[in-house]
């Protein structure tokens, strides 16, 4: 449900590589690079667990990828040889637990958050992988990573629109009985905005866990 991509820096300022698992995203990215007049960016489409490259990189960075990978530990293990000793491996993945906990005071907001979570979970996504990366990095033979959890909070219509847009994009995948609990979908955005405004409080969006480590010298 989410484009999967990861990135590598070769240590040369004239060379960047980016891998994408979605052909449409890859075509769009190539078009943007061409429009920008850049000649030092390369794109390769590959499975995250089977990246073939003769270079080693200063850093490999991924965002919202591993939650959709069948074996995240194997993916991390396969990426490690691409990083030079002292280089960085960094991923940012979701954690729904704080999002749901801080949504509980508003019934409609919580209902939408719960449906988003359940829809991703039912698709096979690992909805708490952000926290699980601590032991996954180590299972992959990497050092214990540094971690930080970030969660945006807001109350203005532009912020609440983020959640509406997400649940709207997931609508074809949501169970009909779950949709029924939200009432008239055509008025959902306005009702979410109204509930937040009346509460005079902030609401959360998805928590993201940043996780990174340096590859040990000699590894």
Q: What pLDDT, on the 0 to 100 scale, is given for residue 28? A: 86
CA distance 41 to 30: 9
Q: What pLDDT, on the 0 to 100 scale, is given for residue 45? A: 77
CB 90 within 8 A of CB 8: no
Tell which CATH classification among 3.40.50.1100, 3.40.50.150, 2.30.29.30, 3.30.70.2340 matches the domain 5-214.
Answer: 3.40.50.150
Any idea where the domains of the chain sit in the sequence? 5-214
Q: What pLDDT, on the 0 to 100 scale, is given for residue 9? A: 45
Residues lower than pLDDT 50 in the chain: 1-21
User: What are the tens digits of pLDDT across the range 62-109?
Assistant: 999 899 999 999 999 999 998 999 999 999 999 999 999 999 999 999
Q: What pLDDT, on the 0 to 100 scale, is given for residue 8? A: 43
CA distance 162 to 173: 18
Reduced to 3 states, what is the DSSP secondary structure of residue 105? coil
R_g of the chain, CA atoms, integer Å:
20
The helix (run of H) or strand (run of E) holding residue 202 is none
CB 62 within 8 A of CB 5: yes
Backbone angles phi, psi at 130, to 5 degrees: -55, -50
CB 165 within 8 A of CB 205: no
Tokens of 70: 């069948």
Reduced to 3 states, what is the DSSP secondary structure of residue 11? coil
Q: What pLDDT, on the 0 to 100 scale, is given for residue 211? A: 98
């Amino acid at each position: 449900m989410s484009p999967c991509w990861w990135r590598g820096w070769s240590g040369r300022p004239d060379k960047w590589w980016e891998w994408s698992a979605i052909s449409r995203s890859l075509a769009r990215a190539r078009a943007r690079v061409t429009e920008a007049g850049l000649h030092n960016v390369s794109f390769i489409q590959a499975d995250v667990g089977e990246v073939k490259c003769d270079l080693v990189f200063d850093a490999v960075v991924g965002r919202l990828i591993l939650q959709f990978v069948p074996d995240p530990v194997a993916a991390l293990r396969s990426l490690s040889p691409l990083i030079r000793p002292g280089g960085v491996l960094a991923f940012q993945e979701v954690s729904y637990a704080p999002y749901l906990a801080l949504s509980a005071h508003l019934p409609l907001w919580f209902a939408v958050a719960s449906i988003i979570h359940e829809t991703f979970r039912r698709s096979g996504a690992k909805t708490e992988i952000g926290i699980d990366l601590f032991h996954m990095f180590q299972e992959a033979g990497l050092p214990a990573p540094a971690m930080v959890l970030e969660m945006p909070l807001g109350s203005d219509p532009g912020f609440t629109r983020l959640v509406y847009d997400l649940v709207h994009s997931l609508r074809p995948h949501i169970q009909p009985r779950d949709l029924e609990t939200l009432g008239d979908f055509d008025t959902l955005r306005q009702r979410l905005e109204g509930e937040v405004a009346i509460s005079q409080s902030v609401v959360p969006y998805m928590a993201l866990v940043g996780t990174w480590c340096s590859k040990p010298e000699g590894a």
